[in-house]
Amino acid sequence: MSIEMAMMGKASADDRPATTCDDVECVMARPASMTDKLMHYCPGCTHGIIHRLVGEMIDEFGLLDHTVGVCPVGCSVFAYEYFQCDAIEASHGRAPAVATAVKRTDSSRFVFTYQGDGDLASIGMAETIHAAARGERITIFFVNNGIYGMTGGQMAPTSLIGQKTTTSPSGRIAETTGMPIGVCELLSSLKGVAYLARVPISSPKNINTARKYMRKAIRAQLENKGLGLVEFLSTCPVQWAMSPIAAMKHIDNTVIKTFPPGVFVDRVDPVDATSTPMPAVAHTGAEA
Amino acid sequence: MSATLEHPGAKNVAAESEPRGTEQVAGTKRLVKGNEALALGAVHGGLEAFFGYPITPQNEIPEILSGLLPSLGRVFLQAESEVASINMVYGASAAGHRTMTSSSSPGISLMMEGLSYIAGARLPCVIINVMRGGPGLGNIAPSQADYFQACKGGGHGDFHSLVLAPWNVQEMFELPALAFDLADRYRTPVFILADAVLGSMLEPAVVPDQIPPLRKVSKEWATVGRGRRAVKNVVNSLYLDPEVLSAHNETLQSTYREARREIRYDTRFTDDAEILLVAFGIAARVGLSAVRLLRKQGMRIGLLRPITLFPFPSDAIKHLAKQVRQTFVFELNSGQMVEDVRLAVNGISPVDFYGRMGGVLPGPEELAEQIRSRIGRGDSL
């Protein structure tokens, strides 16, 4: 499936009236929560798709007015340019700490972070784990493409064994660099996590699955159940030295062997008694 | 405290940021510990959200706030590190709240990247550093060795924090409120530079009986959630275009120049002084005792104590340097503020320095003897 086909996925804001232009029915439009700014992402990069999904979700839940997005350093450092919501740019790795404070000071806000794998799983691992352990009522969109894209293709904590990067030119070796970190596996032991899922952004079908997961990760926050995180297995065609289509296939054929997709934790709609949500903490905002 | 403004004409501007005077509200004079005073002073000054990580010698601050803030419906959170603490401060400040962290020297070092982002994004906040001996792990004894770090930026890039230096427990209570007002007015981080002795000492201080209600300060730039605002707000420090970043830096620098109207200092026995002693914080307490000792021995010596370390009371020091034969600077470090004193004096008269490091706090006799023995010796450079 091509990215173009993937982008043709039906807009989920079904209540939005279909508009017409030049007597042609408009069946899909840019989410109202997104700006019309031209994105800076490389051809074939999945950030554009994931941005759109975030925009769709903010529309669908009607959250734009009280959303604060936190976008740290990485390829998505300009993400605040593409969303209509208030946004904070965080330093590298610290988005969960920043988001924690934004949410705790006023629990009526919807607070999300949008982080890459170097950001979330390397320099920001401490902030990630502790935000999850505290059960912060924030939603993390975690874009894992297994490489440092913006800085020029260096090895990430999520790079695959054997993956050639500019700092592992002969391929990543476990003996000297360890094994790739599975963030969902790692966080799944923490009781503060209310929803945790991983999905490849490799086909329209998977993008629909991503929408389903994102709804739950947002509900984890809105229903005061704990931290929600969706990990997107994403492409980096430029730094992977692949065509966009080959990069999509690489996710389905190879990446998912190291990072199996699926739902890891679901305390939003618990299916068994052991998945009870973490007790709600007093997230009272300061009085106005 | 005799706070003296450097520019008398600017008094009206500065007056509105005076901390709530203890004479205006019912208060109780009692023994208060320095760190307790900082914590209570911050709450009385409108602290809405505190984030911090344990480190000696300032632990009473988070300990007190961990009970007090939630009881007021405000936010206390013990962070996983100082790195997280300062970034939580960044987030709470971006969202428009009066926020603070406190730490001691090694923890403050960990916050320097975050501080640079806060300064770059023009976010107001208060940072308390109860300084201890360094470098490295050092010790937990009193020190003033973080003067450069606090006053010269500390993190990367061209920026400053405003820096306030209390010298007694009453000021430890009063300065946090002033710090919040200054932070909001200039959209800069504001340091309160205390030390292990000030933090741990018990002194009589007047603390108001009632905690005032929060005064909401309007911050049209804050990322509170867009609401009905026509445009979104973005808090960031990223300006890829050099000309745009240059203009942003010019704005920051003009802010620091504007903040010179907030300069505060305290002078004692300077009217007829032939010798000037300059010291801040706990060193100024020792300094005032030394001045009194030397006055009894017939020396016409006076004390100038900067209360704002940045902006620095350069004009006042320069003015006195024309009057005196010699200036002494006394610090609990290897000689940091003395550089600013020398820049202010600019060769008008000699400047000499005495300092102790490693957490050693000399008594007034030792300092007096140092001053006596160095009279006429000239500039120590």
Query: What CATH number did the domain enclosing B109 receive?
Result: 3.40.50.970
List of residues 6+ apart from B297 with CB closer than 8 A: B372
Residues B49 and B184 in one domain: yes
Beta strands A227-233 and B308-310, pairing class:
unpaired
CB contact under 8 A, A87 and B51: no
Residues B203 and B67 in one domain: yes
Residue B66: both structure tokens together? 């961990």
pLDDT at residue A281 tops 60: no
Query: How many angstroms separate the CA atoms of A227 and A137, rounded?
Result: 5
pLDDT at residue B51 tops 70: yes
B129-152 burial, b at 16+ Cβ within 10 Å, e below that, comes to bbbbbbeeebebbbbbbbbebbbe
Residues 87-106, chain A, touching B (beta carbon < 8 A): 87-91, 94, 97-102, 104-106
CATH number at residue B315: 3.40.50.920
Domain containing B83: what range?
A: 11-260
Q: Which of A210, A181, A203, A197 is nearest to A262 (CA)?
A: A197
Rounded to the nearest integer, the mean pLDDT of chain B is 93
The number of distinct structural domains making up chain B is 2
CATH number at residue A108: 3.40.50.970
In this structure, is residue A92 part of a structural domain?
A: yes
- Shortest CA gap B8–chain A (Å): 36
Query: How many angstroms separate the CA atoms of B222 and B97, rounded?
Result: 9
CB contact under 8 A, B216 and A106: no
Instruction: State whether residue A247 sits within 8 Å of chain B by CB.
Output: no
Write out pLDDT tens, residues B277-296: 999 999 999 999 999 999 99
Which residues in A lie closer than 8 A to residue B111 (C-beta atoms)? none
In this structure, is residue B160 part of a structural domain?
A: yes
Residues B197 and B303 in one domain: no
Query: How many angstroms separate the CA atoms of A192 and B134, rounded?
Result: 38
Instruction: Compute the average pLDDT of residues A83-102.
Output: 98
Residues B206 and B85 in one domain: yes
The number of distinct structural domains making up chain A is 1
Write out pLDDT tens, residues A206-235: 999 999 999 999 999 999 999 999 999 999
pLDDT at residue A204 tops 70: yes
In this structure, is residue B4 part of a structural domain?
A: no
Which residues in B lie closer than 8 A to residue A105 (C-beta atoms)? 48-49, 75, 92, 95, 97, 99
In this structure, is residue A277 part of a structural domain?
A: no
Last residue of a domain, one of B211, B227, B260: B260
Residues B116 and B199 in one domain: yes
In this structure, is residue A89 part of a structural domain?
A: yes
Query: How many angstroms separate the CA atoms of B226 and A147, rounded?
Result: 34
When pLDDT is cut at 50, 70 and 90, the band that residue A24 belongs to is confident
Instruction: State whether residue A36 sits within 8 Å of chain B by CB.
Output: no
A251-271 burial, b at 16+ Cβ within 10 Å, e below that, comes to beeebbebbebebbbbbbeee
Residues B180 and B284 in one domain: no
Residues B272 and B238 in one domain: no
Instruction: State whether residue A150 sits within 8 Å of chain B by CB.
Output: no
In this structure, is residue A287 part of a structural domain?
A: no
How much is the pLDDT for A284?
Answer: 44
- Of A128-132, B80-84, B197-201, B377-381, minimum mean pLDDT range: B377-381
CB contact under 8 A, B91 and A98: yes
Residues B31 and B96 in one domain: yes
Last residue of a domain, one of B207, B241, B260: B260
How much is the pLDDT for B73?
Answer: 97
Residues B220 and B313 in one domain: no
Query: How many angstroms separate the CA atoms of B237 and B123, rounded?
Result: 10
In this structure, is residue A12 part of a structural domain?
A: no
In this structure, is residue A244 part of a structural domain?
A: yes
Residues B320 and B365 in one domain: yes
How much is the pLDDT for B2?
Answer: 43
In this structure, is residue A6 part of a structural domain?
A: no
In this structure, is residue B184 part of a structural domain?
A: yes
Residue B132: both structure tokens together? 């201890």
Domain containing A229: what range?
A: 40-272
Last residue of a domain, one of B202, B235, B260: B260
Nearest to A126 among B84, B99, B223 (CB): B84
pTM more than 0.80: yes
Q: Counting Cβ atoms within 10 Å, is residue B368 exposed (0-12), middle (13-18) or buried (19+)?
A: buried
In this structure, is residue B134 part of a structural domain?
A: yes
In this structure, is residue A13 part of a structural domain?
A: no
Neighbours of B218 (CB within 10 A): 8
| Helix (H) or strand (E) segment spanning residue A71 | strand A67-72
Residues B15 and B123 in one domain: yes
Nearest to B84 among A83, A102, A127 (CB): A127
Residues B232 and B321 in one domain: no
Instruction: Compute the average pLDDT of residues A88-109.
Output: 98
In this structure, is residue B1 part of a structural domain?
A: no
* CA A45 to chain CA mean position, Å: 14
In this structure, is residue B22 part of a structural domain?
A: yes
